[in-house]
């Protein structure tokens, strides 16, 4: 749970030009009472869950590569792969919860007619990413609301297309 919360904090910090290191995070976790092993693993998981820069300029491909890195351990060095093997269940659970929370937030925004201008991507592009990620997640975890949420977004896209 701590890694899930912290990865978003690290991601936002990096987007705003900050630099949070694994070592700094580990030290801070130990200061608030985590033992050294837990602090080390939480800090490494948190860093690992932050999206990595990729060479692909295609939005969908970037998002797919980042998801597959976490979900399948794709593109990892041997050392990283060994660590991933030990922690993959935690990493997958955190990623699944994050994706599904983002999906629910997106649908909530749409239902409440909130402007999605901060997303820097069209709803269609984000829908394709959700569709890919949710499909992969549903191979492992059951989440009955996911199909309804995806269908809601697809309907919004269709309505927007018809209005144009």
Contact criterion met (CB below 8 Å) for 22 and 68: no
How far is 42 from 138, CA to CA, in rounded Å?
25
Q: Walk along the chain (164 residues) and give the pLDDT tens digit of each residue.
A: 677 667 767 777 777 777 777 888 889 899 999 999 999 988 888 889 888 877 778 999 999 999 999 999 999 999 999 999 999 999 999 999 999 998 999 999 888 887 655 667 888 999 999 999 999 999 999 888 999 999 999 998 888 777 65
Q: Is the dihedral of CA 44, 50, 55, 61 positive or negative?
A: positive
Radius of gyration of the chain from its Cα atoms, rounded to whole angstroms: 17
Total-model pTM: 0.84
């Amino acid at each position: 749970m701590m890694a899930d919360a912290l990865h978003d904090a690290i991601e936002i910090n990096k987007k705003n030009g900050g630099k949070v290191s694994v070592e700094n995070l580990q030290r801070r976790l130990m200061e608030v009472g985590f033992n050294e092993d837990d602090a080390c693993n939480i800090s490494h998981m948190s860093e690992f869950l932050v999206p990595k820069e990729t060479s692909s300029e295609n939005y969908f491909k970037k998002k797919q590569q980042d998801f597959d890195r976490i979900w399948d351990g794709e593109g990892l060095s041997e050392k990283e792969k060994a660590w991933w093997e030990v922690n993959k269940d935690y990493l997958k659970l955190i990623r699944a919860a994050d994706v599904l929370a983002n999906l629910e937030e997106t649908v909530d925004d749409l239902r409440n007619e909130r402007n999605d201008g901060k997303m820097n991507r069209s709803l269609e592009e984000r829908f394709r990413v959700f569709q890919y990620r949710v499909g992969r997640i549903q191979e492992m975890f059951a989440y009955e609301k996911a199909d309804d949420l995806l269908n809601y977004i697809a309907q919004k896209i269709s309505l927007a297309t018809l209005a144009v």
